[in-house]
Each structure stands twice: as structure tokens, then as C-alpha cells.
Chains A and B, each alone.
Chain A
Amino acid sequence: MAEDRYQSILQQLQLRRRRRVLQVALLLLVILLCSYFVGLFDGARLLDGIPSLWLMAQESFPPDFTEWQSWLLPLLDTLAMSIVGTALALLMALPLGILAARNTSPHPLVYRFVRGILNLFRAIPELVMGILFVAAVGFGALPGVLALAFHSIGMVGKFIAEAIEHADNGPIDAVRATGATPFQVITHGVLPQVVPQVLDLALYRWEYNFRASTVMGMVGAGGIGLELMSSLRLMNYDVVAAILLLILLTVTLVDTTGAVLRKRFK
């Protein structure tokens, strides 16, 4: 009977729905437990915070721009750091990405090893990298650039590897069928397919690195972050507000430039 078959399908459907509801309930429970654990339900403490926030807001108004001239050079530092950091990351991530893609890696061991390295780079936060490089090469923009570059390699390399793995096999086969060397297959069959995506990512990463480099100065690795940190330490919240507004302006500028360039590449 058709009716019976309908009923059995509907029953299966209901079973699936019950399982889904149970899964969602479980997830909610985990979220609630974690919220309790981090103190989100501590209403009294949250309420106590409001007056302090209000005080800081009052103190940071109006923003104090009197020293704006001394911020321009550090801001330029930040911009330069983000550009060089991104370029350096891209340069090193490309070969690593090729080695970390299953279909272009010369050997499974190489693949595993390079993937591991990329994970390691990603696992170390850029601020920690900044501290390490400051210790190694001293204060200034240079350790900032290295920190941004090495942290970015992890993510950019993994992205390139994944883009290569998802490349269309058809054109790759076609290039191979012409008698091309494995190197030529990569440069002429694989890379043309991933270049647009990688350029897109590079711009996105530049925007990200600019935002990240604004805090690099906090650990002595150059840029506007140093000014920000010293004002914070002196509790000059009106100066902090002015610097933050300046950073917001430049971030918007960088993001807009990125968006315009990205449209060009398409």
C-alpha cells in the first residue's frame, strides 16, 4: 500500500527530526555551561562595570588630537609593515602551499611535514611572534614585519594548498597530455587556476595585517601601537580615543582600497 509507505517515510523523518532537536539541545547546554563558567551570568559584576565604562567614555571625550603630527610617522610605519608583511608571507606561502597540497606534493611525508609547519605558524599568535622577533632583532618595524609575515604564512599557505587541491583536473590533464614536465604542469596548469583566488586572499590578508599591525607597537614591534600603549598606560583616554579614531579612519581607507583592487582583479 502506498499509504503505508508514506507513513513509514514520515516516521523516519520524525526520527531524524528528534535526533536533530536533541543535538541542538545538547549544543545549547554546552553554550550555557560555558557561559556560566566564564561568568556571563554574574549580573552584579556586569552591573558594576557600567559606571567604570561610563567614566572612561566621559574622559575620552572630546578626543585630544593636539599631538597628531607625531602619530603620522608611526602610522606610516604600520602601513609599510602591513604591506611588506603580506608580500613576504605570499612569497613564502606559495612554494609551501604547493608542497602542502595533496595533488602537487612530491611525497606524502613532505605533505604531512609542510602541513605541520603551516599549522605551527598559525598556532603562534602574531603578538607572541612579535615578542620573539623583538628579542631576536631588537625594537622597531622589522620585528613587526617578520611577525606578521610568519603568522600569515600559516593561513595563506593552507589556503593556497586547499585552492590547489580543489583546482579543476581537466586543464591539468590537458597540460600533462602535451608532454609537459611536472614543474610545467604546476606553473601552467595549476597556478593559473588559483591565482585569482590567491590575489583575492592577499588583499583580504593585507587588510587583516594592517589591523593586526596597529597593536604590534604594544610589544615594541613598531607602528602606531606604541603611541596607543603609552597613552593607555598614562590613562590619557582622550588621547587614546583620538588615536583609535585615526586608526579607524586608516582601516576604512585600507579596506576600501582593498575592495576597489579586488574588483579590478575580477
Chain B
Amino acid sequence: MGFGIPMISLQQLTVTYPGASRPALLPTSLSFQAGELVVLLGASGAGKSTLLRSINMLTKPTAGKLKVNGRVIKSERSLREHRRDSAMIFQQHQLLLQQSALHNVLLGRLSYYSSLRSLLPMSVADKELALHCLERVGLLDSALERVDRLSGGQQQRVGIARALAQQPKVILADEPVASLDPVTSQQVLDLLHTLCKEDGITAIVSLHQLALAKSFAERIVALSHGEVVFDGPLSELSDSQVVSIYSQTHYSALPL
């Protein structure tokens, strides 16, 4: 497509969990360009989370290579820098529920401080940045509110603000709307779409609903049983391919 070195490329990346007879992710080669929006589609257990988590190495790949801007990550330090550049949004938002929204968003700034320095309060500039992130997700008024007092949709928006505060180049979102109702799901996903477009952030978002995927991205990567079964524009994804993505699963009906 005329790009230079891909921002992230996986080469024969494989994940086998300890004690498992079959890899959760079969040898997979994929590349993602800067600014691209990509949806990972697939049924539960297809390997979407494993793929996403191996991109920031929360799950260590058992074989293959991960290259970021053409370079393999070797040291602990370069791994941390890679993680700072690739913010993650989780299905269960993974916030500190007893803390304020602002406190949670400030966690996104953590990797900009040394271990010792992070025991002291963060800089005013970072606090203002965190407030700005909360404003962008529409939660400035709830900045000092405890996160467990917020609704599910609001909590996930705090999760998005935390990711934004990292000032990332990539956002990895693992089923970000799976625990939200349909209307809120669409709103949260639209918000994520807008923010990534505005900031030119690459987004790799796993979803299991085709309808939501359609509204989010041009490029679809479909996984089934730990294997990439489709990679291309949404328009080329035929109905029969959709059926095969979800076949041999416990879903009796197709998600619409």
C-alpha cells in the first residue's frame, strides 16, 4: 500500500500456553501501519485476546518475532517504552475502583516517571493533561469521583482516558465494549474512533460483533481457532466467510 516499514509487524508469532496441547495462536504474520484502524473479529476463544496481548507482550510469545518500527524488542527498557507507546484498553476496564477517575487516568503517565519519583505527586502539567483527557471523554465533572460510583460506560471512558494520557502511538483494545449495553457500546466505540482519528493513533480493536466492527474500521482481521482466516477490507468479507469465522463454535446463531 506504499507505506515504508510497518509500525508493528508480527512474523510467525506463536503463543502456546503452558500445559496446552494446541497453540492459542498459530504462527501468525501480520503488519499494521501507522494511523490504521483495524478490527480483530472472531468468536470467544478464537485467539483475539492472545494476539492483542502478545503485541504488548503481556502474554509472552513462545515463538516468532515482533518488530516495532522494524526493530525487535530486546531489553526490559525497550519493552517498557513499547508498552508506553501502545496503550491498552481492557474489557473489564481494569480500573482501581477505590480511586478517583483522575487518579486512574494519571496512571497513564506513570511510565514517564522513575520508580522513586512516582511515589511523590505527579507534576501539575501531567494533572492538567489527565484532566484534558477526561474532558475529551466527557467526564471532566467526574474527575474527583470514585470510579466505583460511575456507570459501566463511564468507567470504560475513564479506561480510554487512561490510555490517551499515555500519549500512545497505538491503542490495543481488548473487547472494549463487551460488557456494555448496545447503545452505550456504540457510543463508546464511536468516541474511541473519533479520538484515534483526531490524534492519528493506530487502533487494533477486538470485537465479536460484526455490526460494531462495520462502524469502526475499514480493515478486518478475522481469527478462528487461533488462526487468521481473513485479512482485508470489510467490503471483501463475504457472508459465507462470516459463517466460517463463527462456525464450529457454541454459537448457534450468527451475531448481527
Question: A residues near B, CB below 8 A?
Answer: 2, 5-6, 9-10, 12-13, 16-17
Contacts and interface: CB of A to CB of B under 8 A. Distances in A.
- Among all A-B residue pairs, the 4 with the closest Cβ atoms: A6-B131, A9-B143, A6-B128, A10-B127
B243 to A, nearest CB: 35
A260 B231 CA distance: 48
22 contacts: A2-B132, A2-B135, A2-B140, A5-B140, A6-B128, A6-B131, A6-B132, A9-B102, A9-B131, A9-B140, A9-B143, A9-B144, A10-B124, A10-B127, A10-B128, A10-B131, A12-B144, A13-B102, A13-B127, A13-B144, A16-B144, A17-B121
Given A6-B131, A13-B102, A13-B127, 19 more contacts: A2-B132, A2-B135, A2-B140, A5-B140, A6-B128, A6-B132, A9-B102, A9-B131, A9-B140, A9-B143, A9-B144, A10-B124, A10-B127, A10-B128, A10-B131, A12-B144, A13-B144, A16-B144, A17-B121
Contacts of B144: 9, 12-13, 16
A16 B103 CA distance: 13
A9 B140 CA distance: 9
Interface in B108-139: 121, 124, 127-128, 131-132, 135
Nearest to B128: A6
Nearest to B121: A17
Contacts of A2: 132, 135, 140
Interface residues of B, number: 11
Interface of B: 102, 121, 124, 127-128, 131-132, 135, 140, 143-144
Q: Is chain B's binding surface mostly helix, strand, loop or mixed?
A: helix
A5 B142 CA distance: 12
A131 to B, nearest CB: 44
Contacts of B102: 9, 13
A232 B167 CA distance: 67
A2 B128 CA distance: 10
A218 B143 CA distance: 59
B127 to A, nearest CB: 6
A83 to B, nearest CB: 35
B103 to A, nearest CB: 9
Contacts of A5: 140
B125 to A, nearest CB: 11
A190 to B, nearest CB: 26
Nearest to A3: B128
Contacts of A10: 124, 127-128, 131
Nearest to A2: B135
A20 to B, nearest CB: 11
Contacts of A17: 121
B233 to A, nearest CB: 39
Contacts of B140: 2, 5, 9
Contacts of B128: 6, 10
A6 B124 CA distance: 10
Nearest to B134: A9
B33 to A, nearest CB: 34
B24 to A, nearest CB: 24
Contacts of B127: 10, 13
Contacts of B132: 2, 6
A3 to B, nearest CB: 9
Contacts of A12: 144
A29 to B, nearest CB: 22
A16 B102 CA distance: 13
Most buried by B among A2, A6, A12, A17: A6
A10 B143 CA distance: 10
Contacts of B124: 10
A6 B140 CA distance: 8
A17 B128 CA distance: 17
Contacts of A13: 102, 127, 144
A195 B127 CA distance: 47
Nearest to A17: B121
Nearest to A16: B144
A13 B144 CA distance: 8
A6 B129 CA distance: 10
A5 B124 CA distance: 14
Contacts of A6: 128, 131-132
A3 B40 CA distance: 39
A5 to B, nearest CB: 6
